[in-house]
Amino acid sequence: MITKLRPVSTAPLPCKICGAEAALFGVVDFAKHCNEARSRRLPLLGTPVYYRRCQLCGFLFTDAFDDWSEANFKADIYNDGYIEFDPDYREARPTSCAKLVQDLFGARKAELRVLDYGGGDGLLSATLRGSGFLEAQTFDPFVADFARPPQEKFDIVTCFETLEHMPDPMAGIAAIVSSTKEAGLVLFSTLVQPPDFEMHGVNWWYVGPRNGHVSIFSRAALVGAGSTTAIRPLPSTTICTWPSARCPSSPGIC
């Protein structure tokens, strides 16, 4: 039995990005996760999770977990079983993302301070420190060793596969920006809805409440989130940046 979810309302709610009406769009069981193609499907729990989609910007979200505390998320989602549903979380993703940061910014690593926001067990930051970056820290509210919010500002803030986990994405993005120097850069990744998303609906593999995927962006929603926080996402496939003068010239990134 999981923590009680917020009761669903059939009335449209304001979009969490742009404020326009977001009607009910689809429903999945809490047990749906993002690794079903490579792993097993869990037995249904009989706990429906309703998602809404904004009629204006296309942002897909659920408010089912909006009353949960961090302790609830740690108990029912980010627990010892989480690795089964996101097997790249512990090593493969932080290792590949550290290589990306090294490839992009390695020439200036001795002068750059990096924060990995939502960085899990800290492997990405440890890898960057080991490769010679001036400083690399991790923040993740669900990992005890890294749960203290950053108190300083950084040249680069990385945020890989984190935005989709935010029940309040605008507050989360604002926190990321507040940790970035004025001349700094935010480098992030999140999958955006594909062109044929309406055909897939909430059956799209990336919609997975057991993974904590509660906020699924469209490209328009990403642009809207950036404009509201006075930053501008640049177009790419899965990697995007909120840019500054530090942004290197790299195809697909800037």
DSSP string, 74-93: HHHTSSTTHHHH-TTTTTHH
Cβ atoms of 223 and 69 closer than 8 Å:
no
Q: What is the mean pLDDT of residues 162-177?
A: 96
Residue 245: pLDDT band by 50, 70, 90 thresholds?
A: very low
Greater confidence (199 vs 249) lies with 199
Position 202 scores a pLDDT of: 98
Q: What is the pLDDT of residues 71-108, one digit of tens each?
A: 999 999 999 999 999 999 999 999 999 999 999 999 99
CB 27 within 8 A of CB 202: yes
Distance of alpha carbon 243 from alpha carbon 253, whole angstroms: 10
Q: Which residue has the tokens 């996101």?
A: 86
Angle, in degrees to the nearest 10, between helices 123-131 and 92-105: 40
- Tell me the CATH number for domain 13-242: 3.40.50.150
Rounded mean pLDDT of 210-231? 88
- 22 forms beta bridges with 13, 54
For residue 227, pLDDT over 80 is answered with no
Q: In the numeric block, which tokens belong to residue 126?
A: 């440890």
Q: Where are the domains of the chain?
A: 13-242
Say which residue, 231 or 64, is predicted with more confidence.
64
Whole-number Å distance between alpha carbons of 160 and 219? 17
Averaged pLDDT for residues 222-233: 73
Strand partners, 187: 158, 241
Long-range contact pairs involving 42-47 (C-beta distance under 8 Å, separation at least 24): 42/210, 45/2, 47/2, 47/5
Q: Is the pLDDT of residue 234 over 80?
A: no
Q: What pLDDT is attached to residue 247?
A: 39
Supply 52's token pair: 């809404």
**What digits encode the pLDDT tens for the residues 132-169?**
999 999 999 999 999 999 999 999 999 999 999 999 99
